[in-house]
Amino acid sequence: MGCTSSVYAVGRKKKLSIPEMVMFVPSMRIPVQSDLQRPLRGLISKDLADRLSSLRNQIVLVAEDTGGSAITELRRVLEEYLSVLICLTKKETIDDGLIEFKWRNLEHGRQEICVANFWFELLSVLHLMAMLTLSEADSLMIPKDPTGSGLRVVSSDCKREAIDLLLKASGYLDCCIRDILVHIPFDIKKRLPKSFQPGALEAMSIQTLGQGTEIQLGLAVESQNATLSVKRRLACEQLVYFSQAYQCLSECDTDRGYEKKHMSFIKWKFLESKAAAYYYHGLILDKGSEPSCHVSAVCCFLAAEELLLESKRACLSFCLASPVTRSPPLWGAMKHLHQKIPEVASRKSQMYGYLLEQEKALQALPELPEFQLSLRPEEYQLPEIDSSSWSSENCEAQSQTLKEHLNDSDYETSE
């Protein structure tokens, strides 16, 4: 979310800057160098063990050198590594606890977890792919000023591309829950980082769909062809996504750290989407001819105004939660609604004030309509086994000569 930033430079302290964010991206975890070759010696061919080790080391070096910013290069190596790694989970002759896979939190800079389990390694790789994709979407949605005019904008093409990336990231996270977590033993699951827990992964996947819907609503507001019904439906869908994400995350420990900031983000976006939903619902109700329609509409506008004020406070709480971030300039639907909601609430309460006095029994906040959710995670399947690497010739361990065996023994003794 722009939260991952380097504080130290070589030889001097770098000025600390507060990053701007649009999309919430949890802190990335990157691999730490682990010995893959020695544990696999004699179980698979030397060339294949070397390739696995080389690909993982590439990920380590690129991630450390760039702080996770070389998204295209990292994604390419991660996908290649994943297609080779997947076979380790299929080979019954290889012990699942053979290799200790080490990962660290990029934000904290320290090793966070070391687990001897192939499925944990798959989970970590796929989670990193999801975080890189979210980071790319976040970068696209941060307003730019290409002309130097002081006017910062995000193009419609960038917004649509960001939606595609959000759906892809949601698909990665959905695959983590559906196809990987189920294979990890319970005792290992208890040791996983909080962001790897099922509730946190599901909350992140659903929330990502909510952020995609938020961008869609912004595009609808900018379009002359989008009807009030379309805008209301999108706002209501966004509200449901963030409601579901809140329920999932509430099952996790969110008292501190990124989990606390994550919950603050969901509360902020929940309040924004609820304000938008009541505003557009009020506009549609206000088109009715009965006095009760106008009373219900005013109730919606006043509720939207109050929710908007709450969302501003929630935004501040989110930004101040560690690690501190800046909120971007108002964009999309909220740029429009921060002006329109107070204006319409004031005007309509004055216009129908006499009705509010006469129809006090009708002053109940109407229920929002329910709609079928439109966005779904882009389906992601774990890759097929890399046939070129895992052919029968390469998979079979080559018998060692006496000289090779002695060399291996010398190598182990010298370390």
Per-residue pLDDT tens for 148-203? Answer: 555 678 889 999 999 999 999 999 999 999 999 999 999 999 888 888 989 999 99
Give the per-residue pLDDT at 223: 93
Give the per-residue pLDDT at 10: 35
Q: Is 412 part of a structural domain of the chain?
A: no
Best-predicted range by mean pLDDT (36-45, 269-278, 356-365): 269-278
Distance from C-alpha of 269 to C-alpha of 263, rounded to nearest angstrom: 10
- 124/219 same-domain check: no
Q: Is 6 part of a structural domain of the chain?
A: no
Instruction: Report whether pLDDT(225) > 50.
Output: yes
Give the per-residue pLDDT at 11: 39
Distance from C-alpha of 272 to C-alpha of 182, rounded to nearest angstrom: 35
Mean pLDDT of the chain: 84
Give the per-residue pLDDT at 1: 44
Give the per-residue pLDDT at 48: 86
- 222/164 same-domain check: no
Share of the chain above pLDDT 90, in %: 52
Distance from C-alpha of 42 to C-alpha of 49, rounded to nearest angstrom: 10
Q: Is 53 part of a structural domain of the chain?
A: yes
This prediction has a pTM of: 0.86
- 189/311 same-domain check: no
Q: Find the radius of gyration of the CA atoms of the chain.
A: 26
Q: Is 273 part of a structural domain of the chain?
A: yes
- 80/108 same-domain check: yes
Q: What is the pLDDT of residues 61-108, one digit of tens each?
A: 998 888 778 899 999 999 999 988 988 887 766 777 788 899 998 877
Give the per-residue pLDDT at 410: 43
User: Domain of 131?
Assistant: 18-145+153-196
- 128/258 same-domain check: no
Neighbouring C-alpha atoms within 13 Å toward the C-beta of 341: 28
- 332/218 same-domain check: yes
Give the per-residue pLDDT at 403: 44
Residue 62 sits in a domain whose CATH number is 1.25.40.280
Give the per-residue pLDDT at 26: 83
Give the per-residue pLDDT at 179: 93
Q: Is 116 part of a structural domain of the chain?
A: yes
Q: What is the pLDDT of residues 382-415, one digit of tens each?
A: 887 766 655 554 555 444 433 444 444 443 444 4
Pick the more confident residue, 192 or 147: 192
Give the per-residue pLDDT at 13: 45
- 205/162 same-domain check: no
Question: Do the Cβ atoms of 60 and 31 come closer than 8 Å?
Answer: yes
Q: Is 392 part of a structural domain of the chain?
A: no
Distance from C-alpha of 340 to C-alpha of 348, rounded to nearest angstrom: 12
Q: Is 405 part of a structural domain of the chain?
A: no
Mean pLDDT of 288-297: 87
Confidence of residue 47 (pLDDT cuts 50, 70, 90): confident
- 169/231 same-domain check: no
- 77/212 same-domain check: no
Q: What is the pLDDT of residues 295-306, one digit of tens each?
A: 899 999 999 999
Q: Is 5 part of a structural domain of the chain?
A: no
- 137/50 same-domain check: yes
Distance from C-alpha of 116 to C-alpha of 164, rounded to nearest angstrom: 34
Distance from C-alpha of 339 to C-alpha of 105, rounded to nearest angstrom: 40
- 259/304 same-domain check: yes
Mean pLDDT of 328-357: 87
- Please tell me the total count of domains within the chain: 2
Distance from C-alpha of 298 to C-alpha of 107, rounded to nearest angstrom: 47
- 165/243 same-domain check: no
